[in-house]
Amino acid sequence: MTISLIGLDADDTLWHSEDGFHTVTGRFCELLQPYAQDPSNLATTLDMVERRNMALFGYGVKSFTLSMVEAAIEVSGGAVPAETIQQLVDEGRTLLARPVDLLEGVEEALAAIAARYRLVVITKGDLLHQEQKLARSGLAELFWHIEIISEKDEPTYERILERHDIDRNRFVMVGNSVRSDILPVLAIGARAVHIPAALVWTYEHADHDGSVPTLRSIRDLPHWLASTAATAA
């Protein structure tokens, strides 16, 4: 069936994101090194604290920053000085304020497909921060709707399609996370295109069975859509 709506993930599909968390995690390890009871374990503990907090805190930089504060206290056995905690909060603030760095080819690819399809951003994370990144990206005008959600699961994708009265056969989701952008979309009977990113947060790690269309870059998306349309016709 002909595609009428394209869902696009934002973080690490339209712009760089994970690299920022990666850099700040490095900074966390550096800052906590002098106070750590087990300096080999710093990034692992931070990751564990994040996962523990996920159900209550949710995704995004503010949750990550609160988890850094807790992990700092934990790895240091309470010995971390307030000054270091302030540095961690400042790292979070820098992450929230940093400019949007689009992935290569995003502007051209979106301009090419926006003329033929309705585009919707479907992103999870912090409401205000995702809105701010969209505004900074210069891409907002290309989208029919913006969907900022707390979890990318089957009911959420179903609700989005229902709300916009879109048949699941006419929807394709494009993103870098197999766990969030691919598997739940396939599960509701819609299509998905995987564009792997250079860095993947371990929390998002999952595999698909290899049958999912996988592109090297968003540059290849207009061509994939054109050839899919030709096959359907």
| Residues contacting 159, CB < 8 A, separation 6+ | none
Provide the minimum distance between the beta carbon of 70 and a second copy in the complex, in angstroms, as a whole number: 6
**Which one of residues 18, 58, 214, 220 is an interface residue with a second copy (CB under 8 A)?**
58
Residue 191 three-state SS = strand
Provide the minimum distance between the beta carbon of 191 and a second copy in the complex, in angstroms, as a whole number: 26
Q: Which is nearer to a second copy, 166 or 186 (CB)?
A: 166
How far is CA 216 from each of CA 67, 107, 133, 197, rounded to the nearest angstrom? 33, 16, 24, 9
Q: Which is nearer to a second copy, 69 or 112 (CB)?
A: 69
| Residues contacting 66, CB < 8 A, separation 6+ | 53, 57
What is the spatial distance between Cα 137 and Cα 159, in angstroms, rounded to a whole number?
Answer: 26
Region from 21-29, 54-62, 136-144, 216-224 binding a second copy, contact rule CB under 8 A = 54-62
Q: Which is nearer to a second copy, 32 or 218 (CB)?
A: 32
Residue 133 within binding range of a second copy, rule CB under 8 A: no
How far is CA 15 from each of CA 19, 72, 101, 218, rounded to the nearest angstrom? 10, 29, 5, 11
| Site string (147-166) toward a second copy, x via CB under 8 A | -xxx----------------
Region from 15-23, 74-82, 104-112, 166-174 binding a second copy, contact rule CB under 8 A = 74-82
**Which one of residues 38, 40, 82, 232 is an interface residue with a second copy (CB under 8 A)?**
82
Region from 12-20, 40-48, 52-60, 178-186 binding a second copy, contact rule CB under 8 A = 52-60
Residue 100 within binding range of a second copy, rule CB under 8 A: no
**Which one of residues 128, 140, 198, 229 is an interface residue with a second copy (CB under 8 A)?**
128
Provide the minimum distance between the beta carbon of 14 and a second copy in the complex, in angstroms, as a whole number: 19
Long-range contacts of 58-61 (CB under 8 A, 24+ apart): 58/125, 58/126, 58/150, 59/124, 59/125, 59/126, 59/150, 60/125, 60/126, 60/129, 60/130, 61/92, 61/95, 61/96, 61/125, 61/126, 61/129
Task: Kindly report the backbone phi and psi dihedral angles of residue 166, in degrees, each rounded to the nearest multiple of 5, phi listed first.
Answer: -115, 125
Instruction: List residues near a second copy by CB under 8 A.
Output: 56-59, 62-63, 65-66, 69-70, 72-73, 76, 78-83, 85-86, 89, 92-93, 96-97, 126-129, 131, 148-150
